[in-house]
Amino acid sequence: MKKQFIKVVLSCTVIAGGFTVTSCSKSTSSKNVSRATGWKINEKEGGFQYNTDFKEQETAPGLVFVEGGTFTKGKVQDDVMHDWNNTPTSQHVQSFYMDETEVTNVMYLEYLDYLKSVYPPENPKYANIYKGALPDTLVWRNRLGFNETMTNNYLRHPAYAEYPVVGVNWIQATQFAEWRTDRVNEAMLEREGYLAKDAKYQALNGEVAGTFSTEAYLNRPESVYNGQIDSLQGKMKKDSVSTFAKRSSGIIMPEYRLPTETEWEYAAQAQVGQREYNNYRGRKKYPWEGDYTRNGQRVGRGDQLANFKQGKGDYGGIAGWSDDGADITAEVMSYKPNDLGLYDMAGNVAEWVADVYRPIVDDEISDFNYYRGNIYMKTAIGEDGKVNILQDSIVFDTLPNGKVVAVNLPGEIKMVPVDEEETYLRTNFSSSDNRGYRDGDPGSSRFFDRFSDEEETDKQAMYNSPKHKVERDSSGNLVRQYDQSNNRTSLINDEVRVYKGGSWRDRAYWLDPAQRRYLPQYMATDYIGFRCAMSRVGSKSKTKNKTVRGKKAK
């Protein structure tokens, strides 16, 4: 027994400079050694590769970190409209990131410039890609108003560069977010050496066919840039073998997207400014502190804190004393940010959010990251057993107003709805499309007959909105068939989306973050814009000095 003890001590003892140093730390404590198997991670010879040096998610361009938490979603002010479509509920939101400002004209012009360069509209095959992304500048027209200056200049003139983009419908806003995701991740891969320097410009300038798609890169990287990615490999390429980043590499950003309604309302309230320990000191009527729209501080006293319509015929005060400094939209960052550092969460332009509109907020089913609009999809698998990439084909959709938009661009993954393989015997979801789940219509009732005649089902629908039909004849001309039924009872369907926040056209009542309105997703106006959000992966907080049970964490 004694002999065995001496053997252990000797194996842990090192003689250094005449001193005996004992170090018996376990090899499995190293972050590059698996605690599951004891095998080494990230060995040159092979085996499991993983980014063990990852610290936390990097803040992507244009975004501000919003730490999640619990809050009261819904209206607690007087409901003068008497619709009660956002009754107070207790909700919890995970941490996320949100654009510091609304998306501006110059940001959107960069998007248009990219599309025009990569998919030249003079090519008949691509014509509708660029055209479908163009904002509707005619939203500025008024039958009894002279607004042609904005119609002709607002989008492109440098004087309006940092003004929020308008005339963009919900579909265009989501497509901008998808494009932004790919461009940011393309730059990240170049920075980290997975792509050659300036690879993104080679694709932009037509030197390389095809473009970069984040999901295509993650699922089938050899297909990116129309199969020419090997020629664009960066310094990470070793011994002529291509090296591709994965989700486990930690450098691929989550997607830019529209914020959910709950996220937007939480960020606009910015209750963090009202926090005292683990409680909020009351409720805020506006994104700023106080019950009034005017500045009460010594500097700028009396000025409006947002850009909104102050009364009939009053969009900005009198000459020489402009209350809010604007009559239409205003340059972003013209007013103070809220306590989260977000600008124009009230006024300027209202903003699209991701949710499908329903008057019901069903907190009995979900009080965590509440969102109505889930359509679960999966990647399509080709006959070769690989992910199906749409290299040469473009999928277009004709909207009810006749506008043609590209649903899938070349190089993107083909997606299909989930089926029984994913839904069978699940308790958390049973279908691909969940937009109408428990929304109060007969389909939500236990008496609903799902096998009844489709025509009969349509008659008993609660959200009985008009159904317009747009199609093309044999000559390619649009044929618009308007729904002329006199029996329609609602404007609500699965294609109407929520928009939040007051605008330059709205009275102060709509500046309350809890207010919610809706509009068909294919429609655009001169007072609705948008901003992007991104999910946070990893820890809830960025705070380094956390406390655990009253003691400072080690």
Nearest to 85 by CA among 527, 434, 532, 491: 491
Cβ of 520: how many Cβ atoms within 10 Å? 20
User: How far apart, in whole angstroms, are the C-alpha atoms of residue 287 and residue 305?
Assistant: 10
3-state SS class at 280: strand
Cβ atoms 417, 434 nearer than 8 A:
no
Token pair for 275: 């926090």
Name the strands in the sheet holding 516-520, side by side, starting at the edge strand that comes first in the sequence. 516-520, 496-500, 350-356, 528-529
User: How far apart, in whole angstroms, are the C-alpha atoms of residue 391 and residue 373?
Assistant: 29
The 10 Å CB-count burial string (b at 16+, else e) for 451-490 is eeeeeeeeeeebbbbeeeebeeeeeeeeeeeeeeeeeeee
The pLDDT value given to residue 174? 97
User: How far apart, in whole angstroms, are the C-alpha atoms of residue 73 and residue 512?
Assistant: 12
Cβ atoms 121, 168 nearer than 8 A:
no
| The pairing of beta strand 547-548 with beta strand 533-535 | unpaired
Give residue 449's identity as a one-letter amino acid code. Answer: D
Q: pTM value?
A: 0.89
Cβ atoms 133, 175 nearer than 8 A:
yes
3-state SS class at 120: coil
CATH homologous superfamily for the domain 63-192+245-373+499-549: paralog of FGE (formylglycine-generating enzyme) (3.90.1580.10)
Cβ atoms 374, 365 nearer than 8 A:
no
Note the helical H segments in 397-467: 420-423, 454-459
The pLDDT value given to residue 503? 96
What is the DSSP secondary-structure string of 198-223? Answer: THHHHHHTTSSSS---HHHHHH-GGG
From first to last of its 554 residues, the chain has per-residue pLDDT tens of: 444 444 444 444 444 444 444 444 444 447 889 999 999 998 888 889 888 989 899 999 999 999 999 999 998 777 777 777 888 899 999 999 999 999 999 999 999 999 999 999 999 889 899 999 999 999 999 999 999 999 999 999 999 999 999 999 999 999 999 999 999 999 999 999 999 888 888 888 878 878 899 999 999 998 899 888 888 888 777 666 678 999 999 999 999 999 999 999 999 999 887 787 888 777 788 898 878 888 888 777 878 889 999 899 999 888 887 778 899 999 999 999 999 999 999 999 999 999 999 998 888 899 999 999 999 999 999 888 889 888 777 888 888 888 889 888 888 999 999 999 999 999 999 999 999 998 877 667 666 665 565 555 555 567 888 888 888 787 778 888 888 888 888 889 999 999 999 999 999 999 999 999 999 999 999 999 999 999 999 999 987 655 554 554 44
Instruction: Give residue for tokens 């939101």.
Output: 93
User: How far apart, in whole angstroms, are the C-alpha atoms of residue 265 and residue 268?
Assistant: 5
Instruction: Give residue for tokens 């008057």.
Output: 359
* Domain residue ranges of the chain, discontinuous segments joined by +: 63-192+245-373+499-549, 437-493
User: How far apart, in whole angstroms, are the C-alpha atoms of residue 6 and residue 436?
Assistant: 72
The pLDDT value given to residue 544? 62
In the chain the first and final C-alpha atoms are separated, in Å, by 38
Token pair for 443: 């389909």
The pLDDT value given to residue 554? 46
Nearest to 259 by CA among 527, 512, 500: 500
The pLDDT value given to residue 454? 53
Question: What one-character DSSP code corresponds to residue 443?
Answer: G
| The pairing of beta strand 528-529 with beta strand 350-356 | parallel
